[in-house]
Amino acid sequence: MKVGVVGCGHVGLVTAAALAELGHEVLGTDRDAEKLALLARGETPFYEPGLEEALRRGMRAGRLRFTPDPAEALRDAEVVFICVGTPPRADGEANLLAVERSGSTIARHGRDGAIVVEKSTVPAGTADRLAEILRREGGGRRFEVASNPEFLREGSALRDALEPDRIVIGIGSARSLRTLARLYEPLTREGHPLIVTDIRTAELAKHASNAFLAMKISFANALARLCERAGADVAAVADVMGADPRIGRAFLDAGLGYGGYCFPKDVAALERLARRLGYGFPLLREVARLNDEAVEAAVEKIADALWHLEGKRIAILGLSFKPETDDVRLSPALTLADRLLAAGAEVVGFDPRAGRNAKEELPALRVAADPYEAAAGAHCLVIATAWREFRDLDLVALRACMAYPVVVDGRNLLDPEAVVAAGFTYYPTGRPPLRPEAPAPPRPAAEPVRAGPLGLSTG
Ligand code: UDX
**What is the tens place of the pLDDT at every residue in 87-102?**
999 998 999 999 999 9
C-alpha distance from residue 195 to each of 123, 168, 201, 206, 291 (Å): 19, 5, 11, 13, 31
pLDDT at 234 over 50: yes
Which domains, and CATH codes, for the chain? 2-197 (3.40.50.720), 202-440 (3.40.50.720)
Q: Is residue 262 among the annotated active site residues? A: yes
Q: Enter the pTM of the model.
A: 0.92
Q: Note whether 170 and 148 are within 8 A (CB).
A: yes
CA atoms of 360 and 408, how far apart (whole Å): 25
User: Residue 434: CA atoms inside 13 Å, Cβ hemisphere, count?
Assistant: 22
pLDDT at 354 over 60: yes
pLDDT at 448 over 60: no
What percent of the chain is modeled with pLDDT above 70? 95
Distance (Å) from CA 210 to ligand 1 centroid: 9
Task: Classify each residue of 43-76 as buried b or exposed e, where b means 16 or more C-beta atoms within 10 Å of its C-beta.
Answer: ebbebbeebbebbbebbeeebbbbbbebeebbee
217 lines ligand 1 (CB under 6 A): yes
Residue nearest to atom 17 of ligand 1 (CA): 153
Distance (Å) from CA 250 to ligand 1 centroid: 10
CA atoms of 42 and 31, how far apart (whole Å): 18
254 lines ligand 1 (CB under 6 A): no
Distance (Å) from CA 193 to ligand 1 centroid: 22
Question: Exactly one of 83, 227, 262, 380 is catalytic; which is it?
Answer: 262
Residue nearest to atom 20 of ligand 1 (CA): 258
What average pLDDT does this structure show over 141-160? 95
CA atoms of 314 and 427, how far apart (whole Å): 14
48 lines ligand 1 (CB under 6 A): no
Distance (Å) from CA 259 to ligand 1 centroid: 7
Lowest-pLDDT choice from 187-196, 243-252, 438-447: 438-447
